[in-house]
Amino acid sequence: MSKTKLNSTGAQRMMLVLDECSQKIGFLSLLTKEILSAPESFKSLFGSTNVANLIVDLRQFEESYQNMLQNPSATQEEKDSALLTVHWAVRNLARALRDNPNLIEQLKNFQTKSGVVRNPSLKAFLGMIEELKDMTYQQLITTIEEEDSKNSFLGEILAKEQKVSSELKSLQTQLSELRSQREKEASQRINIITKLKEEIQEIQAASTNQIKHVEKETKLRETVDMKGFKEIEGVKKEELDRFGKSLDEKVVQNKKKEYLLRKKKFAVERELENWVAKYDQDMEEKEAEIDGLATEYTKEQQQLAEMEKYLGELEQEYEKLLSEEKKEEASKQRETAMRQKIDDAARIIQKAWKAYLKRKGKLNASTSKKKKRSKEKGKNASPPKSSPSQKSLSKSLSSPSKPSPTQTLKKPSLSSSSTPSPQKGSPAKKPPALAKTVAAVKV
């Protein structure tokens, strides 16, 4: 029968506690009186588990608790502590049985084979726990509407009960009237019984006289039968003597037969000894053959060990080759990753340098316009030329070769008033974006 699932965790915990309680009591019911009284004799059944020791501890705790109950000088705290130790011992025993399902199966098989019946009180207790589980489960799954419907149903039942009680009262009055009638009839019957008893007494008196007459007749028959018995006894004694003589004759004949059979037995034993000697000789030959095979087997085992050692050395060499291949692959991957990082850094530097050159071109255009306006002064200014360091940097950025991370870059410095050409030997200042990219490349 499928049960509906409980929603609340509290209800599920209650049902789990009841299930565990019934399971532990079922385990404990497998321990019969014989096992509890002498667990040492059932060590072969328990095996390597400590169930026997737990049973002995439980018996000791129970005896100490019983002695404490009988002792009037023991305090209530001592009694409670002794009872608590008994509870812990029972709990440990139930856990040990739960952790050993094979032992539970063996105990069940032992009960079925030995025909031992479980304790009826434990059976009744298990039945009560199952009923309690069903009742709590029904109470937990019932909703408020179902509870109201049950209450209304109980109200109807109470009304019916009141009606039945009124009918019962009327029936009780009728019963009292019937009892009075029955008592009258009983008194009449008692009178009849007394009359019958008097008649029985008269019949008993007549029967005693008849018994005496019968006893006399039996005594006469007994005397006659004794005479006949004595005659038969004499005849049987004669037959007994005759059978005794025939028995002696048969004993002599049987002794002769026994002598012949003993001879035959000795001959058979000699033949058996010969067969045993032949068997021993054959077995010695077979043992020698087995020893030869054993020596060959040991030689083959040594050869096998040498081959396994050789194979182990080959496996070690193979593992070394595999590890070296893995290291080469890892180094190749690191080189490719490093190249990719360097290429990405070079692209970033190229983009920054191109932006720098664009800004520089715009500044040069503005300075040429200013020089055209100052022609009246008669000064001819030469346009700014790119330094050799800039040409080398642009070639290095435009070329697809890999830039070294430690390369130093030189570029002309910028001023707010004019844009003269950079002097030779003067270090060029880097813009902040380009300086960051160069620092990242160095890292």
pLDDT at res. 434: 45
Number of helical (H) and strand (E) elements in the chain, helices listed first: 10, 0
Share above pLDDT 70 across residues of the chain, in percent, rounded to a whole number: 73
CB 97 within 8 A of CB 104: yes
Q: Return the higher-pLDDT residue of 75 and 143.
A: 75
Cα separation, 274 vs 41, whole angstroms: 47
CB 430 within 8 A of CB 413: no
C-alpha triplet 253, 256, 262: angle, nearest 5°:
140
Taking residue 348's Cβ as centre, other Cβ atoms within 10 Å add up to 17
Dump pLDDT digits (tens) for 374-400. Answer: 555 555 544 444 444 444 444 444 444
Q: pTM for the full model?
A: 0.30
φ, ψ (nearest 5 deg) of residue 293: -65, -35
pLDDT at res. 424: 40
Ranges of H-type helices in 374-418: 388-398
Question: 305 is written with which tokens?
Answer: 């060990």
Share above pLDDT 90 across residues of the chain, in percent, rounded to a whole number: 8
Cα separation, 266 vs 43, whole angstroms: 48
pLDDT at res. 403: 42
Q: Return the higher-pLDDT residue of 391 and 268.
A: 268
- Summary mean pLDDT of the chain: 76
Cα separation, 98 vs 105, whole angstroms: 11
Helix, strand or coil, per DSSP, at residue 319: helix
Range ranked top by mean pLDDT from 63-67, 142-146, 239-243: 239-243
Cα separation, 203 vs 225, whole angstroms: 33
CB 12 within 8 A of CB 6: yes
